[in-house]
Structure 1
Amino acid sequence: MKTVAYLLILVHSVIHFMGFFKAFNFLEFKAITQPISKTSGIFWLTCSVLFVISLILFELQFKYWWIFILLAIITSQVLIISVWQDAKFGTILNVIIFIFGLLAFSDQQFTDMVRSERASMLSGSDQKAKQNPISTLPEPVQKLLEKTGVDSSTEIQTVYLTQSAQIKMKPEQDDWYSATADQYYVSYPPSFHWSIEMKMNPVMPVRGRDKFENGKGEMQIKLFSAIPVVNVQDNSKVDEATLQRFLAEISWFPSAARNEYINWEKLDDRSARATMTYNGTTGTGTFHFDNEGNFEKFTAMRYYESGENAEKKRWTVKALAHKEFNGFILPYILEASWLLDDDEWTWLKLDIDHLEYNVKSNKKHK
């Protein structure tokens, strides 16, 4: 879509440039039979330049590039009206370019929102949680920390990671959608910010953002970064479900298992139940480990939807492979599933491409 938009704008720019040539008799422009004055010709040139400048500024990510494309479209349309009989079809180009510009502006606004929210979240990441001694944790959790490489001196305040994903939106869906995402976590106060880009088909991009902060969860999904598909906040069910997601994902920063906002209960030699409470929101889930102490899976009864009649379903995050990141042995290939009507529906396949700790500022924003 971006390439098509660029080509249309460049073609439109060239057409306006030809109008300037006609006005000054530099060449014959047969597409327009009506005369163009030299004064008008200057505006044809100005319009051409505005289209080119808008492209350059867009590529440079200049915040106010949209002003130039809007001025170019307005100028172009005024000039088209002045030679309407010959140039009326140029209006179609202006409408298409306006739509592309509007979508690009929406994408920029989404990116700015992500950047701002992440900056706010990371600004408070220098706080430290009260932590329980490792010796007071259930044996399976102690074994996990030993296996991953966490000890009493380990301090992980923030996490940054990137993900490659395959997603199914509905149980009856056959094909997987490809997606890329990146995510920040803060160990204390417990929070995360996840941004994803997904293409449902070559011309239909989707952007989404989930976050958990101050004990509250939010979910937002937009088609073309502009058309809301999901926008949920101030919902106690989403708060709990998002907290449970944070809890499950401490498998990527297991030192958080020591934080006092998590209470542990040993179930057997290979599992322990975790209950997390923060700022009035509480969620529970069970961590399962293999014989060596590696994280194997996380299971929880979690709200499947956010509506008034939403019910809790069994949610499972399973680790399929582990490898070393920054000296710690962590899961990096995972899948998530829901148990719906006695059928296990795997809706997410996830690979961790990159992970680092104690990042204090935005490394990138999707």
Structure 2
Amino acid sequence: MRLGLALLIALHGAIHLIGYREWSKLAAAGELSARTVLPLSPTGSRIFALLWLTAMLALLAAAALYALRRDAWWALALFGVLLSQGLIVLAWPQAKFGTLVNVLLLLPIVSAAAHARFSREVDSEVRALLARPSEPHASSVEPSEIERLPAPVRTWLEASGVVGRERAQMVRLKQRGELRASPDSAWMPTEAEQYFAVDEPAFVWKVTTKMMGILPIEGRDKYVAGKGQMLIKAASLVDIVDAADEKIDQGAMLRFLGEIVWFPSAALSPYIAWEPIDATTAKATMRHAGKVASAVFTFDPQGRVVGLQAERYLGGGADAKLTPWSVSCSAWRTFRGIRIPSQGEVLWKLEGGSFSYYRWEILDVEHNPAGPYGRESGARTLADPGPSEPAPKNAQ
């Protein structure tokens, strides 16, 4: 797909060389003006011919940048296509068929421009989240802090390795996985980044995938100042989902609560209260921005989180109803000294049965990072985690 589009842009650009040669000959002979829709002076004729060469260079450069996966390709391609079409209109009788290629190229170019805009907007939200005021040096988790917690929660925090370590104030992580929109739809491979603020709870999650392996889909889910919003776009142009109401707020809040398993020191935050249930389960209740959300966490004897359950609104709007929602964990790894769940799935329990809609794998987690992935000064590579710990056979 990428190679095909790069070749089409390059071929279209190369054809402009033929135009440059033909129009240059006509300009030199003083015959070009008779072939254009508007009459051109001798100087205008020479400029017209040179502009075909300019369009060729712009399109060839855009093809090379696209093949090299450089984000700036679309700007050069857009310039080249618009210039090309302007020249075609001026020389319409001879060059009109080039319009078909320009129209064909315009959709991926406009989509790339929209993607760049969407990425800038999400990056701005991420930078705002990471720029929140926090303590210069986060305090360490003290053993005395976990004594008041229910036994399985206390065992979890001890086994995770957070005791004695710096507590998380900001977090970034990378995921990959599979996503689907309905029980009978195909799985779509995903890549995602997520950023969290802990002291004042918030997150921004951005994801990319492809529908049917062709149509690019990107989304952003966030929870900021007690408000959630989910935005999903096709080809960065058409909104598939743009939801923000009290029911989305509740879902985003539950998501934050469930995802503290990737930065366990957040379990000690003042807005989260824990209640014992039995030796392997405990209820966490999050109170923030005047709202309340609760989930039941389940732990194994080794102190690992194996899942959680909650009542969550399935979507937003008047028809959205509270629906059993659960997360299961199937493997664990240690990232930068903290053991966390590294694989699992998320599902709804519908009247017709369970609907698994997201399978996830954590590729990297960093607490209190210097900045967003790949954009901070002296960007670091992903951590080399420890070996995966699969779930016991009797738990699978």
Asked if the contact 1:302–1:313 (Cα under 8 Å) also holds between the matched residues in 2, the reply is yes
Give the residue type in structure 1 aligned to 2:129. Answer: M
Q: Structure 1: how far apart are the matches of 2:112 and 2:10?
A: 17
Q: How does 1:229-308 map to 2 (within 5 A)?
A: 229-233=240-244, 235-308=245-318
Q: TM-score, normalised by structure 2?
A: 0.83
Q: Structure 2: how far apart are the matches of 1:281 and 1:141?
A: 23
Farther-moved stretch of structure 1 (269-278 vs 12-21): 12-21
Q: Structure 2: how far apart are the matches of 1:39 and 1:140?
A: 78
Q: How does 1:42-53 map to 2 (within 5 A)?
A: 42-53=50-61
Give the residue type in structure 2 aligned to 1:106. Answer: A
Q: How does 1:135-146 map to 2 (within 5 A)?
A: 135-146=147-158
Q: Structure 1: how far apart are the matches of 2:165 and 2:46?
A: 76
Q: Which runs of 5+ in 1 are unaligned?
A: 27-31
* Number of the residue aligned with 2:231: 220
Q: Structure 2: how far apart are the matches of 1:22 and 1:111?
A: 42
Q: What is the root-mean-square deviation of aligned Cα atoms in Å?
A: 2.5
Farther-moved stretch of structure 1 (153-162 vs 138-147): 153-162
Q: TM-score, normalised by structure 1?
A: 0.90
Name which of 75, 87, 91 aligns with 2:99: 91
Farther-moved stretch of structure 1 (44-53 vs 141-150): 44-53
Name which of 112, 127, 151 aligns with 1:104: 112
Residue 188 (structure 2) pairs with residue 180 (structure 1): no
Tell me: CA distance 1:321–1:68, structure 2 relative to 1, closer, same or farther (3 Å).
Answer: closer
**Percent of paired sites with the same residue:** 32
Q: Structure 2: how far apart are the matches of 1:351 and 1:345?
A: 18
Q: Structure 2: how far apart are the matches of 1:265 and 1:129?
A: 25
Deviation at 1:287, TM superposition (A): 0.7
Deviation at 1:99, TM superposition (A): 1.7
* Number of the residue aligned with 1:148: 160
Q: Structure 2: how far apart are the matches of 1:329 and 1:242?
A: 24
* Number of the residue aligned with 1:22: 22
Asked if the contact 1:129–1:188 (Cα under 8 Å) also holds between the matched residues in 2, the reply is no
Asked if the contact 2:88–2:99 (Cα under 8 Å) also holds between the matched residues in 1, the reply is yes
Q: Deviations over 1:215-246 (max 9, x none)?
A: 1111000001111000112x111111111011
**SS of corresponding position for 1:310:** coil
Aligned length: 355
* Number of the residue aligned with 1:8: 8
Q: How does 1:24-39 map to 2 (within 5 A)?
A: 24-25=24-25, 37-39=45-47
Tell me: CA distance 1:79–1:338, structure 2 relative to 1, closer, same or farther (3 Å).
Answer: same
Q: Which runs of 5+ in 2 are unaligned?
A: 27-31, 37-44, 376-396
Asked if the contact 2:59–2:77 (Cα under 8 Å) also holds between the matched residues in 1, the reply is yes
* Number of the residue aligned with 2:384: none
Name which of 48, 72, 82 aligns with 2:80: 72
Q: Structure 1: how far apart are the matches of 2:240 and 2:210?
A: 14
Tell me: CA distance 1:319–1:42, structure 2 relative to 1, closer, same or farther (3 Å).
Answer: same
Asked if the contact 2:139–2:167 (Cα under 8 Å) also holds between the matched residues in 1, the reply is no
* Number of the residue aligned with 1:337: 347
Give the residue type in structure 2 aligned to 1:138. Answer: P
Deviation at 1:57, TM superposition (A): 6.6
Tell me: CA distance 1:72–1:243, structure 2 relative to 1, closer, same or farther (3 Å).
Answer: same
Instruction: Tell me which of the two structures has the higher relative contact order, counting C-alpha pairs closer than 8 angstroms and 6 or more residues apart.
Output: 1
Deviation at 1:70, TM superposition (A): 3.8
Deviation at 1:60, TM superposition (A): 4.5
Give the residue type in structure 1 aligned to 2:239. Answer: P
Give the residue type in structure 1 aligned to 2:367. Answer: Y
Q: Structure 1: how far apart are the matches of 2:262 and 2:82?
A: 51
* Number of the residue aligned with 1:159: 171
